[in-house]
Amino acid sequence: MDVTLKRIGLDGVYVKAEGRLDLDNAVEYGTKIKDFIEDSDETVVNLTLDFSDITFISSFGLKVILELYKQLNAQNGTIKLKNVSEQLMSSFKMVGFNKFLLFE
Amino acid sequence: MFKTVRSKILAIAILILAFLLVASACHVYFARMNTKQLMVQNYKFSITASSFVQEVKNRVITSEDNLKSLALIGSLYYKTDRSNELTNKAITKIFENYPQTLGGGIWFKPYIIDKSKKYTCFYAFRDKNNKIIIDKNFESKQYDYPNQAWYKQIISEVTPENNIVWSKPYYENQGSYTTMITVGSGVFVDGELVGIATVDWELDSVIEEVSKMKPLEKTFSMYKNGNEIKNSFALFGNIIDDYIIATNDPYIDNKAVIGNSLKEIPWYTDADNLYATTYITYHNKKYIPFVNRLNNGMVLIICLPKSEMFKKVNNFYFLLIMVMIGIALLIPALLYYSLNHYIINPIGKLTEIAQKIGKGEDIQIKIEKPEEFAQLASTFDKMTKDLKSITQERAKINSELSIAKSIQFSSLPNIFPPFPDRTEFGIYASMEPAKEVGGDFYDFFFIDKTRFMFLIADVSGKGVPAALFMMTVKTLINNLSQMNYSPKQLIEIVNNKICQTNKHGFFVTVLIGIVDINTGETSIINCGHNPPLIKRQNSDYEYLQLESNIALGVFEDSKFEIYETKLNPGDIIYTYTDGVTEAINKDNVVYGETRLCKCLNNISDTEPLEITQKIRTSIKEYTDSNMQSDDITMLVFKYNGILNNVKTYKQIAQQGNYKQFYNWLHAVCEEWSINEELSYKLDMCAEEIFANITFYAYPENAGMLEATLTKNDDNISIEFKDDGIAYNPLEKPDPDVNLPPEERPLGGLGIYMIKNMADDIFYKRVKKQNILTLVFKI
């Protein structure tokens, strides 16, 4: 899975990926983000996930996002999701993630 | 001569009989001989004893003669010149003439010879060297013979008429210290008694002689000649004056009783009365008494121990008994040996061989003797050979039968499902023959691209001939059905062909179904067979009301009615042979059509395999342990119609493989024009279940997953099957989606989402498979 990671601002990271966040890919997606944050010199607290090219998210993808959220939330950080399609949005809503994730 | 067991037994029987006869004869003979011998002995021994008695008598007579001579000398001495010298010579002479005389003398009355001399006597005796000595010592004052008892007795008792007096026995304590008896006679001179003459008799020798008594030669043959008779004893007594002269009775003090009454001898009375005709028992021993009376009132009784008397007889008898016992012991031994050798052993041998033959060993029996067993053995041998050849024949037939069975079975299509890629129909058939090879059969095949034919048939008769006929019919139908005839033409040709080749009067009932699997149009031909049962959608099984034709092989050129119908998807045709409805229970009541119908309607399964198995179970339960009397054959056909709304996909459940799965899923969704929202839901659910199977059903080794997507009028269902460990994801509790994010667990979302998305969801565990079905409304 191709994942593009960019630093934005002092403490932010912008993530853009393409494809499905499912059983086969979700873990890879999460690992790449975590590795990037760890390798950064500065502390990262804000994560922006661009979902414009994400076509599918299953519980495995949701699990990865919850994991990331917990990690950032400990440092008072947030996760912001951009361009989430309605279909994917319904999944977020189904499991109540819309209550703590920010959507743009 | 004694080759047979019978003759041997006879010989032994005769032997036993002979032995018994000899034994009885011997016994009788000896019993008689014993008595007779006893009498003879008595007689003969009385002679023997008499000779001894005679001797005693002679002694008595001799003593008396001797005495008379002495008395004469005494009177001469008195009357004549009274020469001592001459008198001594005369006495010596007399002693020489009577060698048995031990002692004796002449005793004059006191002072009668010489008025100045009190004692005048002449006493002579034999010394140890048989020298005769005149002893003058008795003329002494110390002895004082006139005062001796014998002297007093004799002198007082003698008279000129009765001139011989026997004294009572007495113990001589002056000279010889023995028991003596003295016989005395008066010395009369002119009628005046001037003295007495005496002769002494030492009694010990008499008794001693009795003890040493020997039987005479040839006394009797049974007795040992020349030997002393041991343990005999005697009594010498005077009956008239009743006193004991001498005895050597071993149980009595002999010296003490001498001179006493005879009654002191305990056995005397018996012996005297019985006169030796039988025994006397004395101190637990039997004696034969021999009684002899002497003419002067004396009696001599000799007792001989019976055992001694009969020693020789008894010895011989004992020997004979020993021999008899020996023979008696030998006979059972002989019997035992004979029985063992001639009967038991051959039987044992036969038994042993029979067991070995039973185990299949190839042994020839050889018994030469006795004849009966030789005969039995040869018969046995022949039987074994016959049996072997019969058994081999049987085995051959059996193996041929089992080959026939396997040929017959393999000739029937028996791989199910026969057309696994055909979804338009399902079929299952089974046949259980009553015997090794049956007369029932079934068959099914495509007769062209779309027409499928199935048939079930029952050939008249059973066993190999029926099976052969069945094979002919089956082949015939199979071949002819490929010729593109119409059903009517086909069945008529088949019938004619069968009639032409059927010389043995066989016939066959057949039910044929020909189904166009594309349209469901069906032709059913019933030739004398049980009508089929049909289940239409949403109704029960019922008998198909169709015209029954005549069985095949009965009449040539028969016409056949064809029943035409149309099957709809889901319709089931159940066909059977009469083995099903005519199966009987232990009360001889048949299973019957009603029961069959009822049982079919209780079956919820719609698959031919399950239906067949359940009916089979029902029949088995009904007949219980009753022998199956007829072949039981069933064929179930289910029409599905053309199915294009079911898609199945198989894949190994493994992480990284889901991509292939959703590619298939997406392709199907596209084909079925499923909208994006539903397809997205299917994708999400499928992925979740795929993951579950991968992680939970096959935690160690990856296994197979089968997904079936079915499109129905108002829904889409997807079914997942796996062979993994039992796992029902629906049992997992739902996560609380309202918890603050910090407290939420990472897992548990997938199943929750599936439950949210699917309209219906089922889990079941069937045949070690997890089956999860999700239904989505369209």
User: What is the Cα–Cα distance from B158 to B477, expressed in whole angstroms?
Assistant: 161
What percent of chain B stands above pLDDT 70?
90
CB within 8 Å of chain A, chain B residues 621-640: none
- Say yes or no: B744 contacts chain A, CB-CB below 8 A: yes
Centroid of chain to Cα B16: 29
Hey, CA dihedral for B209, B210, B215, B216, is it positive or negative?
positive
Q: Tell me what pLDDT residue B218 has.
A: 46
In the structure, what pLDDT confidence band is assigned to residue B225 with cuts at 50, 70 and 90? very low
Query: Choosing among B655, B684, B752, which should be mutated to test the A contact, i.e. which has the most A CBs within 10 A?
Result: B684
B677 touches chain A (CB under 8 A): yes
- Which stretch, B41-45, B346-350, B752-756, has highest mean pLDDT? B752-756
Report whether B526 contacts B560 (CB < 8 A).
no
A22: chain B residues, CB-CB within 8 Å: 658, 687
B740 touches chain A (CB under 8 A): yes
Question: Rounded distance, CA B104 to CA B132, Å?
Answer: 11
Q: Which domain holds residue A42?
A: 3-103
> What ipTM goes with this model?
0.89
CATH number at residue A81: 3.30.750.24
The answer to whether the peptide bond before residue B413 is cis (omega within 30 degrees of 0) is no
Q: What average pLDDT score do residues B678-696 get? A: 89
Q: What is the pLDDT of residue B223?
A: 47
Which residues touch B230 (CB under 8 Å, ≥6 apart)? B305, B308
Q: Which two tokens stand for residue B65?
A: 């003669």
Lowest-confidence segment of B405-419, B582-596, B610-624 by average pLDDT:
B405-419
Q: How many CB atoms neighbour CB A4 within 10 A?
A: 12
> Between vectors from CA B398 to CA B393 and to CA B401, what angle results, nearest 5°?
125
Interface A:B, Cβ pairs < 8 A:
62
pLDDT over 80 at A44, yes or no: no
Q: Quick one: average pLDDT of B290-307?
A: 78
Distance, first Cα to last Cα, chain A? 24
Rounded to an integer, what distance in angstroms lies between the CA atom of residue B124 and that of residue B504? 148
What pLDDT sits at residue B510? 94
Which residues of A lie inside 8 Å of B (Cβ-Cβ)? 22-24, 56, 58-60, 62-63, 66-67, 69-70, 73, 87, 91, 94-97, 99-100
The residue among B436, B426, B490, B499 whose CA lies nearest residue B466 is B436
| Closest chain B CA to residue A70 | B742
Higher pLDDT, A103 or B220: A103
- Residue contact B691–A60, C-beta within 8 A: yes
Task: Return the higher-pLDDT residue of B525 and B311.
Answer: B525
Chain B residues closer than 8 Å to A95 by CB: 735, 737, 749, 752-753
What pLDDT is recorded for position B313?
65
Q: B698 or B374, which is more confident? A: B698
| Whole-angstrom distance, CA of residue B520 vs CA of residue B642 | 9
Residue B386 has pLDDT above 90, yes or no: no
Chain B residues with beta carbon closer than 8 angstroms to that of A73:
741-742
The verdict on B756 touching A (C-beta cutoff 8 Å) is: yes
Residue B211 has pLDDT above 70, yes or no: no
Out of B655, B737, B756, name the one closest to residue A23 (CB). Answer: B655
How confident is the model over B100-119, as pLDDT tens digits?
A: 777 888 999 998 888 888 88
Using an 8 Å CB-CB cutoff, list chain B residues near A86: none
Q: Mean pLDDT, to the nearest integer, of B297-321? A: 76
State residue B40's pLDDT score.
60
The stretch B89-98 carries a mean pLDDT of 85
Counted residue by residue, chain B has a size of 778
Contact (Cβ atoms closer than 8 angstroms) between residue B589 and residue B619: no
Q: Is the pLDDT score of B274 beyond 60? A: no
Determine contact: B191 vs chain A, CB below 8 A.
Answer: no
**Over the stretch B637-661, which tens digit does the pLDDT of each residue have?**
999 887 667 788 888 888 888 888 8
Query: Residue B370, preceding bond cis, omega within 30 degrees?
Result: yes
Sign of the CA dihedral B712, B717, B722, B725? negative
Question: Above 70 in pLDDT, residue B575?
Answer: yes
Chain B, nearest residue to A87 by Cα: B677
Closest residue on chain B to A86 (Cα): B677
In the numeric block, which tokens belong to residue B295? 């003419």
Residues of chain A contacting residue B756, judged by C-beta atoms under 8 Å apart = 94
Determine the average pLDDT of the residues in A60-74: 87
Least confident of A65-74, B146-155, B314-323, B632-641: B314-323
Query: pLDDT band at B493, cuts 50/70/90?
Result: very high
Tell me the pLDDT band of B221, cut-offs 50, 70 and 90: very low
Task: Please state, rounded to an integer, the average pLDDT across all residues of chain B.
Answer: 83
Q: Look at B24-28, B311-315, B377-381 and tell me which has the smallest mean pLDDT.
A: B311-315
Distance from CA of A67 to the nearest CA of B (A): 7
* Distance of alpha carbon B592 from alpha carbon B580, whole angstroms: 8
Of B439 and A56, more confident: A56
Q: Do B687 and A58 touch (CB under 8 A)?
A: yes
Cβ neighbour number for residue B685 with a 10 Å cutoff: 25
Query: Is it the case that residue B442 has pLDDT exceeding 90?
Result: yes
Q: How confident is the model at residue B277 (pLDDT cuts 50, 70, 90)?
A: low
Question: Under an 8 A CB cutoff, do B691 and A91 touch?
Answer: no
Query: Which pLDDT score is estimated for B24?
Result: 85
Q: What is the pTM of this model?
A: 0.40
B177's torsion region: left (phi>0), alpha (psi -120 to 50) or beta? left
| B-chain residues near A34 (CB < 8 A) | none
Task: Measure in Å the smallest separation between the Cα of A13 and chain B Cα atoms.
Answer: 21
Highest mean pLDDT among B64-68, B349-353, B367-371: B64-68
pLDDT in tens, B50-89: 667 777 777 788 888 888 888 888 888 888 878 888 888 8
Q: What is the pLDDT of residue B494?
A: 92
Given a contact cutoff of 8 angstroms between Cβ atoms, the answer to whether B231 and B311 are in contact is: no
Number of domains in chain A: 1
CA-based nearest distance B574→chain A, Å: 48
Q: Chain B, 329-388: which have a CB under 8 Å from a chain A CB?
A: none
Q: What is the mean pLDDT of residues B326-343?
A: 83
User: Which residue in A59, A94, A97 is closest to B688 by CB distance?
Assistant: A59
Q: For residue B612, what pLDDT band results from cuts at 50, 70 and 90?
A: very high
Task: Locate the chain B residue with the closest alpha carbon to A66.
Answer: B746
> For the ranges B266-275, B535-544, B579-588, which has the lowest average pLDDT?
B266-275
Contacts of B691 in chain A (CB under 8 A): 23, 60
Residues in A touching B663 (Cβ below 8 Å): none
Q: Which of A1, A20, A21, A24 to mutate to test the interface with B (most CBs of B within 10 A)?
A: A24
The better pLDDT of the pair B142, B456 is held by B456
Report which of B550, B560, B553 is spatially closest to residue B496, judged by C-alpha positions. B553
Q: Which residue has the tokens 């019997």?
A: B335
Amino acid at B506: F
Cis peptide before B418 (omega within 30 of 0): no
How confident is residue B459, by pLDDT bands cut at 50, 70 and 90? confident
> Would you give the distance in Å from CA B222 to the centre of its chain?
55
- Do the chains contact at B749 and A24, CB–CB below 8 Å? no
